Structure 1
Amino acid sequence: MGFPGIWMTESERLVYRVVPKCACSTIGQILYHADHGRWFDGDIHDAREGLHKWGLDHSRAPIEAAVAAGRGLAFTCVRNPYDRILSAFFDKICGIQRNGRRYRGNLVPKIMRDYGVEPGDPETGFDFDQIASFRRFLLFARDTIRFRQPMEPDIHWSSISGHVSTFIRGGGRYDRILRTEDLATGLRGVLRDAEVAHPVDPDDMPRFNESAGHGPERAHPVAAYFDDLATHLVHEIYGRDFALFGYGPDPADRAAKREIDLEAVHVELGR
C-alpha cells in the first residue's frame, strides 16, 4: 500500500499526511520553509523538488525508510466536515482552476445535467442560487461516497478519516493531529517540537489559499447552506469524521467539542 498522500521535509524532521481542503497549501509551504528558509514560488502542489512527496518516484524510498525508523514528527490536519464540503463545492465545482478550466473536464457539466447543480459563471459575476446549488451537489457527493455512482468519490470530498487512515494502515503513527480551526497554535507546537532549521510564526506569514479569487465568494453564513436534509446527508456521509475528530452535530456551532484521542484514532483507523 505504501504511504499515499505523504509529504516529508528533506531533513526528515516533518512527515505530513495531506488531507485535501484542510489547509494543505499552507502546511505544504510551512514544510518547504522549514528546510529552506523561503517559500516555494508557486503552488506547493506543483513542487517536484525541495520536498519529498509519495507521488514522486525518488521520494518513496526516503519516506518509507523514515516512517519505518520513526524519524520525524508525523502529523496531519482535520477540519469540521460542514466547512470542508462547502469549501470543496466553492473551489472545485464553482471555481475556475489555475489552468483556466473547470475542475476535471466534464465533471461540472455532468452534475449540472444530472443533478441540477448551477456553478455560476465568471462572466456574470457568479450570480446564482448558492444554497440550492450546494444542496444538489451534496446529493451528488453522497452518491459518489455511499454508492460509488456516478463516479468514485473525489479526494476533495471523500472522508477525512479515509485519508488519515492510509498512513496508519501502512505502519505509520501520528504524533499530532491538528485542526484547521486552530491551525496557528497547532503548527507552532509542531515546528517547536520538530526543531526545524527555519521556524516561522504561522500568524506572520503569507496566505496560501490557492483557490482564492478563482470563484464566487460565499454569500451566506455556513449554517444557511444546511437545512435538515443537508445536515442529515452530511452526517450520513461523514459520521465517522464527526465521531473520531470531536465535532458536534450543529452546523451553526462548528467548534470542536473535545480533544482528539490519538490512541482511539489509531485503533479505529488501523482495523
Structure 2
Amino acid sequence: MSLLAPFVDFPAPNVAAALIAGDRSETLGDTKRVFELASVTKLLAAYGFLIACEEEVFELDTPCGPATVRHLLAHASGVGFKEGDATKEPEQRRIYSSYGFELLASELERLSGIRFADYFHEAVCEPLGMKDTELWGSPGHEARSTVDDLAAFARELLDPTLLHPDTLAEAFSVQFPDLDGVVPGYGMQKPCPWGLGFEIKGEKQPHWTGENMPASTVGHFGQSGTFLWLVPEQGVATVMLSDKPFGAWAKPLWAETNAALWREL
C-alpha cells in the first residue's frame, strides 16, 4: 500500500503529493499540475534571500526596514502581517508577517538592481530545474508550483547544492528562541520557534504536523491548502498540494495523516 494513500481522502478537488525518503520515495496524483502555494512561498523566497546572503548582496545582520534581515526572515522584526499593520519593537514577539518578506525583496532589489522575482528564478528555479514555478507577486504568499518542482526543492533542502550546509543549518535553527507568537490557524504558541523562513515544530500544540514527529521538523503550510515539511537528520520530506483552502477540515486531518505517515516511516 502506498504511504501517501491517505492523501487521496483529502476533501479537495485536486490533490498531489510526494514523499522523499530514499528507496521509499513515491508520488501521488498529477505531480505536474500547477497549484497556488500561498505561504509555502516563504520557503522558496527564504532560500533566495539566503543565497543573496552568500553572494554578499546583504548579510543576515544587515539593517533592513525597522530591524535586520535575520529578524525579518524569523518573523521577529515587529512588523505586522501586511503594510500598515501595527508594529512592535524587534524581538518582542513572533509576529507572522508577509510584509517582512516584501521588505526583504525591496532591499535586495535596491542593493542588486535585480527584480527579486528574476533573482529568485535565476538563483533557485533554474539550477534546480523548477520550470513550472513562478513567483508572481508577494514573496510572502504569491507563488505557484507543482509537486515535481517542490520535490526537487525538498531534495535540495535535504542535500544542499546552492547553499553551504552551515547556512542551511542556521536556517533550520531556532532564531530568538524565547519569543511567543501565533501560528495562523493554530493560535498562540509559547514559545513559537522559527528559523530563517522555516517554521520549526518544536513543542507546538496543536500543530499541522504529526504530534509524534520530531521537534526538529521544519517546513511551512499555506492557506491555499498546501504544505511542505522535512526532518533533515532523517533525510525525509513530504510535499502536499491541493486546491481546497485551509480551514477547520484541515487541522485534524493534516495532523492525523502526517502522524500516520511518520509511524509508517
- Using structure 2 for the length normalisation, give the TM-score: 0.31
Considering fraction of residues, name the structure with more strand: 2
From the CA coordinates, give the structure whose radius of gyration is larger.
1
Considering fraction of residues, name the structure with more helix: 1
